[in-house]
């Protein structure tokens, strides 16, 4: 009986550890939503439309992060020529902060 209780306690601890990252993601999502509603960041669609005019490509991934008190969209683009771009964009102004180019190997 004691063995079963130890197993249940272990499984419960494991479930709680695995739930931590999910709960953190929910909090990040809520922070991003509040920033949008407060006008601290531009809507992602608007930012992507502006970026597409300067750097056309397929969007592979987007992250919204807070860096030194400033909201930053990190956007990964795949260009038609196979180039992979990582673009950092000021989320409040859609101004490009930095572009990293990485040529894909074939």
For position 17, what pLDDT does the model report? 44
Q: Which CATH number does the domain housing residue 75 bear?
A: 3.10.450.40
User: Residue 72 sits in which domain range?
Assistant: 26-101
Task: Tell me if 58 is assigned to some domain.
Answer: yes
Task: Tell me if 7 is assigned to some domain.
Answer: no
10 vs 74, more confident: 74
- Provide the domain count of the chain: 1
Task: Tell me if 35 is assigned to some domain.
Answer: yes
Task: Tell me if 45 is assigned to some domain.
Answer: yes
For position 31, what pLDDT does the model report? 84
What spatial distance separates the first Cα and last Cα of the chain, rounded to whole Å?
58
The predicted-structure confidence for 48-99, as pLDDT tens digits, reads as follows: 999 999 999 999 999 999 989 899 999 999 999 999 999 999 999 999 999 9
Task: Tell me if 11 is assigned to some domain.
Answer: no
For position 91, what pLDDT does the model report? 95
Provide mean pLDDT across the span 17-22. 43
Task: Tell me if 21 is assigned to some domain.
Answer: no
Task: Tell me if 60 is assigned to some domain.
Answer: yes
Looking from the CA of 92 toward its CB, the CA atoms found within 13 Å total 9
């Amino acid at each position: 009986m004691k063995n079963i209780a130890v197993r249940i306690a272990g499984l419960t601890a494991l479930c709680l550890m695995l739930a931590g990252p999910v709960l953190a993601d929910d909090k990040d999502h809520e922070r991003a939503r509040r920033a949008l509603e407060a006008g601290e960041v531009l809507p992602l669609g608007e930012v992507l439309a502006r970026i597409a005019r300067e750097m056309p490509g397929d969007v592979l991934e987007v992250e919204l992060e807070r860096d030194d008190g400033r909201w930053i969209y990190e956007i990964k683009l795949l260009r038609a020529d196979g180039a992979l771009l990582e673009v950092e964009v000021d989320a409040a102004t859609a101004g490009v902060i930095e572009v990293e180019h990485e040529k894909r190997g074939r």
